[in-house]
Chain A
Amino acid sequence: MTLPVQRPRSFLERLFIPEILRGLYITLQHGLHNLFHQDQPTVEYPDMRRVMPDRYKGAHRLTTRPDGKVKCVACMCCAQVCPARCITIEAGEDADEPIEKYPVQFQIDMLRCIYCGYCVEACPKDAIRMDTGIYEINSFTRQDMIHDKAYMTDLMDGKKPLAEKFYRDQPDQAPAGFDGTQDRVVSVDDSRGL
């Protein structure tokens, strides 16, 4: 059953045709603008990427000491606080006197991770960070989705706080498809009143 809704409409509105023409004019404006300006907000993803904001929580990495060892002291704070229980740490004894403890294994199951960032907050040694800006966390096997210590240490070659920023500074080391010459944040022109 349809309930008739009474709307006050003028004769021209009830004729439909002027209103249809008005609608057609609006859509034509959009179509022609996009045809000539090609400034749609679309980011042509695999070829172009948005630069992630600095505080974007991307893939985890393990920070290192100047000598190359991981900063992690296997205190298990992150594993404890993790709501997804995705961090597995196997502690071992470090011969270096002041360090004493280090993680023999440090695994994060990225399939279970919810990217809450609690592990980063909980860490007393600033040993784990999510500042890579990497959001393409995928693989063909489940096993590869478990990031281990070696992977997370090498993730940014131990020197890239933000992949984009690093590659922009060192374009010769950038991967194929990276455009270092310009900022790839696609801005939407608000003056069009979209």
Chain B
Amino acid sequence: MENHWAELIVVLIKCVFSLAFVMQIVPILIWAERKVSAYIQDRRGPNRAHIMGIRAAGLVHTLVDVVKLVVKEDIIPDHVEKGFWFAAPVIAMSVALTTFTVVPWGDSLLLPISVTSLWGGTAAMEIPLQVAQINGGMLFILAIGSLGVYGVMLAGWASNNKFSLLGGLRASAQMISYELAMGLSVAAMFMLYGTARLDQIAAQQAGPIWNWGIFGVLNSPSFDPLVLIGWVVGGLAFLLFWTSVFAETNRMPFDLPEGEAELVAGYHIEYSSLRFALFFMAEYAHMIVGSAVTATLFFGGYNIPFLDGAAIRAHSDLILMVLGFGGVPVSLAFAFIAWRRSKRPFYRALAKNDIRHREPRFFISMWTMSALSALGLGVVGALGLVGGTVLGPELLAFALQTGSLFIKVLFGTFFMIWVRWTLPRFRYDQLMDLGWRAMLPTAIGTIMLAGVWVIVREAVHAV
């Protein structure tokens, strides 16, 4: 009983951390969306706004956007259905953030000097790095994720506007169609994992890369029918799930709800200022959570391939050394790139006293400092200062595993952006055709294959 307050505090900290995890990626994504789209289309992308001459490749534009959205007039049209209209962006945003609570971002953190000991406990405190450990974690994501359509639908209906309504209608039809394929592909993965708890799912994928869900979750790399079926099930389930994630997040090939060519902007026409920003952020939060869930289901979650939590803890000094000494040349290479960029014709075209001449100098010094700190990290590892401590390996494991999930999420969201600037939008009938006549049967077939997998496993391996 005396531990409850400590647990509450820990859970609150974890809530803040998971919120920060999602929200810190949003500005990066807004920037990446612009820059990636620009580079794919042979443009330069945002590069004008600067703070004291530091343009940071257009990252400042994201900050400027936030200021713009905050100080903009919040227009509330007379004709909207006030209650639902106010609620819609909040629903969209909170749903996107809530789903992240069951995604684990590291295996348990063992704190030897536990918070509980302040209340008289003595045992080391084991903190699962996940806000909520729910038995049906994936089902929770499906349940909450499908609530997201309410935000879009309510916005569309309450805006009292033909285009918004059409956008909301499309969103609801699309989400219902693709939720089916999503749920069924996840069901196939449940059969492979034998659990719906995301922390257990992630833990099963620790170790070598062929333990990942997309390769059919096997703890031994042997070539029997089981492996082959596992590959097919994992691959198919991933394709279906990932496509459905696109549809659920209203990303490009499936962004009919806001198809600007037909519907102006779809469900968020009537929203301005921070309310619009909420929808905007909700879309990116959805992308992040979708990528995180996909990473957890198919790409090992927080696990680093061939390096599970125990290995990180055992070899923390070696890892620090490799990371540190490896980071030095990488940082220096970036410093060199920054120096080379300073020779670009652009900087020669600037006036002598232009404030933007600071930028290459700033980045050269930043990357040099980064190289120095990497060197320091490597020295710490080489001296073996971390492995002996109780807290050090734990924190290193936490940092590396969370970083691993972070990188996977970044790659997933980059992939979404990349697809957005590659594929054209589906027509509505094509969308329905793909959802009901292609993805749903494939998903059912995947489940059957997964059933075969379970039978073969029980027959051959007698597990």
Contact = CB atoms under 8 A, between A and B. Distances in A.
A179 B345 contact: yes
Contact of A24 (B39, B341, B351, B419): B419
B39 A31 contact: yes
Given A24-B419, A24-B422, A182-B345, A31 B40 contact: yes
A41 B422 contact: no
B349 A184 contact: yes
A159 interface: no
Nearest to B344: A38
Given A20-B423, A27-B418, A48 B40 contact: no
Interface stretch (B41-49, B160-168, B366-374): B41-49
A23 interface: yes
A26 B353 CA distance: 41
A9 to B, nearest CB: 13
A179 B346 CA distance: 9
Contact of A42 (B43, B353, B354): B43
A31 B45 CA distance: 12
A177 B351 contact: yes
A43 B382 CA distance: 49
Contact of A30 (B39, B345, B353): B39
Contact of B42 (A23, A30, A44, A177): A30
Interface in B422-442: 422-423, 427, 429
Nearest to A19: B423
Contacts, number: 67
Contact of A34 (B42, B349, B423): B42
Given A2-B429, A35-B39, A44 B44 contact: yes
A42 B346 CA distance: 11
Nearest to B424: A23
Interface in A163-179: 176-179
Interface in B1-55: 36, 38-44, 47
Q: Give the size range of A's interface with the partner.
A: 20 to 34
A42 B44 contact: yes
Contacts of A177: 349-351, 354
B422 A34 contact: no
Interface in B396-429: 418-419, 421-423, 427, 429
A181 B346 CA distance: 12
Contacts of A38: 341, 344
A181 B343 CA distance: 13
B42 A194 contact: yes
A47 interface: yes
A181 B348 contact: yes
B454 interface: no
Contacts of A17: 239
A47 B42 contact: no
B39 A34 contact: yes
Nearest to A34: B39
B418 A28 contact: yes
A42 B344 CA distance: 14
A176 B421 CA distance: 38
A179 to B, nearest CB: 4
Given A24-B422, A34-B42, A194-B42, 8 more contacts: A24-B418, A28-B418, A30-B41, A38-B341, A44-B346, A47-B349, A178-B349, A181-B348
18 contacts: A2-B427, A17-B239, A20-B419, A27-B422, A28-B40, A30-B41, A30-B42, A31-B39, A34-B42, A38-B341, A42-B43, A44-B349, A47-B346, A48-B346, A176-B353, A182-B345, A182-B348, A194-B42
Interface of B: 36, 38-44, 47, 239, 341, 344-346, 348-351, 353-354, 418-419, 421-423, 427, 429
Smallest CB-CB A-B distances: 5 pairs: A176-B351, A179-B349, A34-B39, A31-B39, A27-B422
